[in-house]
Amino acid sequence: MDVRVYRRVMTDPATTSPLLAPYVGAGFDLPNRIAMAPMTRGRADDLTGMPHPFTPSYYASRASAALIVTEGLYPSKVGKSGPGVPGLVTHAHVRAWREVTSAVHAAGGRIFAQLWHGGRVSHAVTVGESGPPLAPSAVRKSGPIYTTNGWVDSVTPTAMTAVQIAGTIEEFGAAARRAIAAGFDGVELHGANGYLIQQFMADNTNQRSDRYGGTTANRIRFAVEVVEAVSAAVGAGRVGIRVSPGNPENDIVETDPFGTYRMLVRELDRLDLAYLHVVETSRDFALEQLRPLWSSMLIANDHSSPQPSTQADGERFVESGHADVVAFGRAWLANPDLPGRIARGEPLRFIPRDQYYGAGEAGFSSLESAVLA
Ligand SMILES: Cc1cc2nc3c(=O)[nH]c(=O)nc-3n(C[C@H](O)[C@H](O)[C@H](O)COP(=O)(O)O)c2cc1C
């Protein structure tokens, strides 16, 4: 295995932050280390899955990011996780996303589409006739779930048959082809935060006794097969995957997260993917475990506290060599020129939480409500 010794960033004396140093890696030439993390905004047309008309300018105004990862897009209707999530299923979706990618490219940016299958984190109300929601096993998520009818009881998903597993893997490949047809630079597979891919890896959500359940090698199989199928469809250099080892979000229990993710990352490292995106929920512990096993670009996102991740968190990741690039989430929402603000040492603004999802133009194309931190 060709594991590169990871690099510490030597900050150019002319720059004030290691986050502002360019990154050059296989297939990537990034102007800085500040990526935009995937963030669902819940503003798509709920019936059609068409992105909000202001989506091209929303992303284009953030084109100074090293890389934009879009909000999660559903690769098939049954994978839709909540209200206002956009799709990447129909020709009309492809045409709409082409406007987004063209706008970002015209502004000099790079943009990957996040492919998000919710698995059991969905509801009959959300997936409609394509339901019921699918999952590795018929294990219901504890707690309520958000739908167009508000917060309602979660539902017991249908345990996927072998045929449904194969079909879902094919759907990911087909959605990735549509992403490239729409002009995206690549796709990020959402393997984090308790959705379908992580549901296969976690102990509580995967009770299967076939080749997709039981041993660690079996529980990572779905993730690996999705990555292989998507790589075969669009080329491994256009594929990234996001993981969140040990993250309990969405009622996930992983009893040996680092055993599981070490095996997964070793398997995936062979494939020469564009990047690995790690959501760090344990104060650098996941990065310490996984960075030495990963050869290509590593993007890290600090989610170890409920507060938005900070410039100092990102600088720590890059200076320690744990990450090449840092994804920020909430900091981008009211600071479309985030790298410029960091370079100028300006304070960051934040939007109120009730404007994260839905809420039309407020907190999306209009930032009048943004407040200083
Ligand atoms: C409004 C909102 C929507 C999000 N949607 C997604 C998503 O679609 N896919 C995903 O992988 N993570 C999603 N996340 C998680 C973020 O990518 C990120 O991990 C989290 O916000 C922590 O980073 P931050 O502290 O820099 O905001 C979302 C977070 C927020 C605040």
- Mind spelling out the 3-state secondary structure of 172-238? HHHHHHHHHHCCCCEEEEEECCCCHHHHHHCCCCCCCCCCCCCCHHHHCHHHHHHHHHHHHHHCHHH
Confirm whether 195 is a catalytic residue. Answer: yes
Dist. CA 162 → ligand 1 center (Å) = 31
Give me the pLDDT at residue 28, please.
Answer: 85
Is residue 45, in this structure, part of any structural domain at all? yes
Count the domains in the chain.
Answer: 1
Is residue 9, in this structure, part of any structural domain at all? no
Is residue 354, in this structure, part of any structural domain at all? yes
Beta-sheet pairing, 239-243 with 186-191: parallel
Is residue 332, in this structure, part of any structural domain at all? yes
Is residue 2, in this structure, part of any structural domain at all? no
Out of 34, 36, 39, give the residue to mutate to test ligand 1, the one with the largest number of ligand atoms within 8 Å of its CB: 39
Residues of the domain holding 269:
23-372
Distance CA 299, CA 144 (A): 31
Full-prediction pTM beyond 0.85?
Answer: yes
Residue 133 backbone dihedrals phi, psi, to 5 degrees: -55, 145
Is residue 16, in this structure, part of any structural domain at all? no
Query: Domain of 185: which CATH number?
Result: 3.20.20.70
Is residue 154, in this structure, part of any structural domain at all? yes
- Atom 16 in ligand 1: residue holding the nearest Cα: 329
Dist. CA 163 → ligand 1 center (Å) = 32
Is residue 333, in this structure, part of any structural domain at all? yes
Q: In ligand 1, which atom is closest to the CA atom of 305?
A: 25
Peptide bond just before 136 cis, omega within 30 deg: no
Give me the pLDDT at residue 296, please.
Answer: 95
pLDDT along the chain (373 residues), means of 10: 42 71 90 98 98 98 98 98 98 98 98 98 95 96 96 97 98 98 98 98 98 98 98 98 97 96 98 98 91 97 95 96 97 97 95 94 91 80
Dist. CA 301 → ligand 1 center (Å) = 9
Q: Provide the token pair at 137.
A: 């096993």
